Amino acid sequence: MEGVSDSFSCFFKEAPAQAGAWMEAVQKLSGASALDRKTECIAYVAVLAAVGLVSGIPFHVKEAKSLGATRDEIISAVLLSLPAVGNKCVAALPAALEAFDAKGERC
């Protein structure tokens, strides 16, 4: 899968059965969501920033951008959890903006 982190690439290569099961669950959860795909992607960027999973930020920012998310929406998503988790989420901002500003790249 293009654009995924090194850890997820390793996961898919070294444990394909588990990775397949994981992706099946992810797809089913997404299908059960009442959110439209763009909103869901933006929300997921917020969750990744809140829990400190910066390595997943670029892939999901590019996906959100491809669905019409703006740079300001990405910034707001990353900083959404600031009151709840403090400045921990700020660490995701550089990766999010770098991914958003990258030219000619698609997920």
Mean pLDDT of the chain: 92
**Other CB atoms within 10 Å distance of the CB of residue 101:** 12
* pTM above threshold 0.75: yes
Q: What is the pLDDT of residues 13-58, one digit of tens each?
A: 999 999 999 999 999 998 999 999 999 999 999 999 999 999 999 9
Instruction: Tell me yes or no: is domain 36-107 CATH 3.30.2020.10.
Output: no
Q: What is the pLDDT of residue 2?
A: 66
Taking the mean position of all CA atoms in its chain, how far away is CA 97?
Answer: 12
Domain parsing of the chain, residue ranges? 1-32, 36-107
> How many Å apart are CA 4 and CA 91, to the nearest integer?
19
Instruction: Please give the residue that has the higher pLDDT: either 103 or 56.
Output: 56
Alpha helices by DSSP H, listed for 33-101, are 37-51, 57-66, 71-79, 82-85, 93-101
Q: What is the pLDDT of residue 104?
A: 60
Q: What is the pLDDT of residue 106?
A: 45
